[in-house]
Amino acid sequence: MADYAAPLADLDFQLRVVAGLDHVLSLPHYGGLDADTVKQVLEEGGRFAGEVLAPLNRGGDLTPARLENGQVRTSPGFADAYRQFSAGGWNAVPFEAEYGGQGLPWVVQTALGEMWNAANLSFALCPLLTNGAIEALIAHGSDEQKRTYLPKMIAGEWTGTMNLTEPQAGSDLGQVRTKAVPAGDHYKITGQKIFITYGDHDFTSNIVHLVLARLPDAPAGTRGISLFVVPKFLVKPDGSLGSRNDLRAASLEHKLGIHGSPTCVMAYGDDGGATGYLVGEANRGLEYMFTMMNNARLAVGLQGVAIAERAYQQAVGYAKQRVQSRDVAGSSGSVPIIRHPDVRRMLMTMKAGTEALRGLALQAAAWIDRARHAPEADDRARTQQLLDLIIPVVKAASTDFGVEAASIGIQVHGGMGFIEESGAAQHYRDARILPIYEGTNGIQANDLVGRKVARDQGAAAKIFIQMVQDTVDELDLYTDEDFAAMRSALADGLAALTQATDWIVRTFPEDPRRAIAGAVPYLKLFGLVAGGWVMARNATAAEAHLGSGSDETFLRTKKTTARFYAEHLLVQAPSLVWPATQPATVLALAEDQF
């Protein structure tokens, strides 16, 4: 398997020209932080990803986590790598200094997260889930809970999980049955949870589980779910660890991929009930979990970008080394397959799609920073609108592309890609979960159409559409054929998105089922146009820097890649208007006709 090299040049470029890093750093909240410091952080993060995490990726696939005598033992090298990760302060990057965090912007955390996930997706899931648990406690935990858990979790001394679903529930959390019975100053938790990532491991001395459960008098459905902190080991008043709580990993799932990440079935209350502590108010647990969904879904979308980058790097490495067949233009003998046009087409598809969605993820992360810390309330509110709108697009478009890129990577390898020893198959197997968890991509599409477009009559979508239109207008200022191609494709894609958006706004109030039937094509259309918007901004920034002493080859490559995206990916956007707005046949058959 090819080594992983962090794409620092592209991350740095897109942080500046797409995400607006300088603007983020100028927010008063980040006073004193400069771009040079961020660059150094990213370089060190890339080194850690390439030298420590990436070499463990294949071993994690071949030697999965295992359950021995009630204790999960992680893949060889993972626990030591986690100790290095925590010692380096990487778990503390985006959190406030009040609890031991470093206080860096989420856009920086997002760039780092891509590198860690690309290097070793199975490993990176542990800090990803811990970050989500930290966010939930920051937003809704009591002062005592924050003092007890946050410093240890932010330091990486303890990890966190989210215990949401159960065997009968799936994505329908209204069916959760886990019980929470009052017992003085705490609750006794009994029930079973499934699909709990890093529900047990040997990284740290304690694991802080956030568990959804029902109180005895709770109303039915999602309105009756509460959130509880349930630590693996109880914590004494002085902060030291006490007795083992009544919870255990009952089994590990045998999965298609991400073998190095232990996915646990968790049992609570075998001996009378696990001790848990209510977070916030009763019956508001699902609401609390949704407060950190933007970050969690962005993180999963980022995993799609990461696996696409890893698969691309491996495919390029193989294509440059594999010698097979003569050049169609003529050659004295067989040539490296990277000289064959169809291999070039596949590699360019992987490269262009990855760069577009990387930029979109970084833009979303910058909006998180602005929505939280912009001085003006109107700016915060408008940015939050855009963030809420784009998150399901980032999650679904990026994870769908991650699977596609990993599949293309196998194709570049030819028959060797289907052989496990090449390593290409691992990326595909690891990627396949991404469109499923943290809300399936069908759920993301429903969310985009029903909650993010129809609910506000397209107000947020119109703000985004105008931003894209401004970029189309900017492309008019350039006369060369690269920009003409980009402008044509982006203008046509934007017209298609506008048409489909207007149709949803009209249709959803009268016939929501019909509008939802076209939700997935609509999200795909939205993602293609959003990616085209990112790539056009890449191209105009590259053009502006040509002749300035910057890396000319890098800048010209950015322009060419942006044009390829426009001519080979973005041009598909208008074809999606029909399936997005004319979904009658989706609903035409009776159930017994399937």
The string of pLDDT tens digits covering residues 56-77 is: 999 999 999 999 999 999 999 9
The pLDDT value given to residue 2: 53
| DSSP, res 590 | -
The pLDDT value given to residue 588: 94
Residue 477 above 70 pLDDT?
yes
Q: Which of 114, 166, 438, 543 is catalytic?
A: 438
Residue 215 above 70 pLDDT?
yes
Please state the rounded mean pLDDT for residues 563-570.
98
Helix (H, G, I), strand (E, B) or coil at 39: helix
Residue in the block written with tokens 């993010």:
452
Residue 1 above 60 pLDDT?
no
Per-residue pLDDT tens digits for 95-117: 999 999 999 999 999 999 999 99
Please state the rounded mean pLDDT for residues 136-165.
96
Are the beta carbons of 363 and 393 closer than 8 angstroms?
no
Determine the Cα angle at 253 with ends 247 and 258, to 5°: 115
Q: How many CB atoms lie within 10 A of CB 591?
A: 5
Name 271's Cβ contacts closer than 8 Å, sequence gap at least 6: 246
Please state the rounded mean pLDDT for residues 341-360.
98
Residue 292 above 80 pLDDT?
no
Strand residue runs (E) in 47-119? 66-68, 71-73
pTM greater than 0.95:
yes
The pLDDT value given to residue 174: 78
Pairing, β 186-197 against β 263-268 = antiparallel
Per-residue pLDDT tens digits for 306-340: 999 999 999 999 999 999 999 888 888 999 999 99
The pLDDT value given to residue 31: 85
Per-residue pLDDT tens digits for 223-241: 999 999 999 999 999 999 9
CA distance 23 to 359: 16
The pLDDT value given to residue 319: 98
**Short-list 205, 53, 59, CA closest to 123:** 53
Q: How confident is the model at residue 421 (pLDDT cuts 50, 70, 90)?
A: very high
The pLDDT value given to residue 170: 78
Residue 353 above 80 pLDDT?
yes
CA distance 125 to 129: 6
Q: Is 107 exposed, middle or buried (0-12, 13-18, 19+ CB in 10 A)?
A: buried
Q: How many CB atoms lie within 10 A of CB 121?
A: 29
Active site residue 438: yes
Helix (H, G, I), strand (E, B) or coil at 320: helix
Helix (H, G, I), strand (E, B) or coil at 196: strand
The pLDDT value given to residue 3: 87
Residue 291 above 80 pLDDT?
no
Tokens for 324?
């097979």
Per-residue pLDDT tens digits for 482-535: 999 999 999 999 999 999 999 999 999 999 999 999 999 999 999 999 999 999
CA distance 516 to 385: 21
Per-residue pLDDT tens digits for 576-585: 999 999 988 9
Pairing, β 233-235 against β 186-197 = unpaired
CA distance 217 to 207: 29
Q: Containing H/E element for 353? A: helix 341-373
Q: How far is CA 416 from CA 262, 397, 410, 541, 550, in A?
A: 28, 28, 8, 39, 39
The pLDDT value given to residue 295: 83
Residue 166 above 80 pLDDT?
yes
Are the beta carbons of 140 and 280 closer than 8 angstroms?
yes
Please state the rounded mean pLDDT for residues 253-277.
97
Residue 206, beta-bridge partner list: 158
| DSSP, res 340 | S
